[in-house]
Structure 1
């Protein structure tokens, strides 16, 4: 029987505090994979050939850290060339990681989606998951909206700062990202309850340089005539955390209402006609009603004309 190959994890911190955490995680052999397969953990500061981590096919740690300006999120980085799932890494090690720690991979072999879907993500995707904690369980389902909005706004910021054509990335409710009518990304948020707090693992997959299976950000940029500038995954992830931290603070302190107007400008569905299916409790019959979407609701439903709430599992949004 052949021995299991080990998975490489590279740890890097934004400041001395995060690098001390990274050293402790490595020294104590703390990090684990869900299947307990072998791990090879290294500190970024100890890697001699660090310039290799920055090639087009490899996540650019240096550029990410230099662009990151948060006080909490994204400051402890776990990088791997290939993982089964970044989401599984942060979920498995949640108690050992500081809030805001992020795991990013160049390739995923078992990426996770809604309904427990699994898939392999190719090179060119931005694939990362991070941790956060919340006390109010009523608003935990809304975090996916904040994550989605932060990513669309981060892409807008990068385009504007680099003087390149804007990319009209939109939100397809509840957790997909679309560009030119095609899916380019998705959001997955899961949570567990422990010690009176909700431990939330938030994951994002975004097509940056891989034009298959649908399209990607850089392909659309080229089509818009921008041939001299390509968006880099490290820059996008740093811009995301810079934006997410401010949005998250607004969300926690003021409620989702503080972001609602911007969210509705970014999503695809205002005024859209959809079909809602309802099963009669006393009969095995399904009735259908056509309604017009007005907006998202704070209890993680949609509001619509001719219907009070449109739940995620009863809606057919095409």
Structure 2
């Protein structure tokens, strides 16, 4: 299934309308963030602060372009991921000590601190206006804006394919089973001599790196960054997508992100002053009748067909 979806995404690249190309690129970028959030959820943790790393990486890319003139996409992506990882190490040393609602609120607080800093540091960040992100180059090639959108789309597809492959492999590894054990009975895992706090920090760091990759891709796709990337509503959006797609499969976050962006686009088009209500009406029956998300029943049906 993964190879089929990847092939479809690659084939769609050049033939998509401009608006749909942008929508899918943004969905893939957010899907990366939610994939990292799902890793935390598998360890029994819910982060309301993934916007922290999403925004930090996006601004790191914007600063690299503005201050140093670095426009190479293949440099901006690891640079943003490194910025997110560094921030995760600093905040994770504290966050890894807490669980449940305390972890969620602490991550939310970290994100809002960054939001406040981005608003106040106007000479550097542009304040609430944000910063423009110039059209990137790809391996030295400087495309026109339309071709750049397509190339960023393919970069997003490649990043998603690599992330999904690594996460799928991790799920069946010892570390993957360890995170599930921490979720089920953390005390018992500690009695076995496993350093639980280090394991939680590792998952937190992994989620941050994925969020950083999504932040850079979103910045390159939109061409602009602003403090709202770190606002609590952005982090809440990622949790919404995680609930929408579910946490049972590695493709669930991507399916949830695509569905979210499509519904949001049409809801905003036809009900611009009530699109949040439309999103709530979409979410309510899913929570009531599909608590494991939309992807789980589709995956089960696919497995039955293969058998």
Structure with more strand by fraction? 1
Using CA pairs below 8 Å that are at least 6 residues apart, which structure has the higher relative contact order? 2
Which TM-score bucket, shorter chain as reference? under 0.3
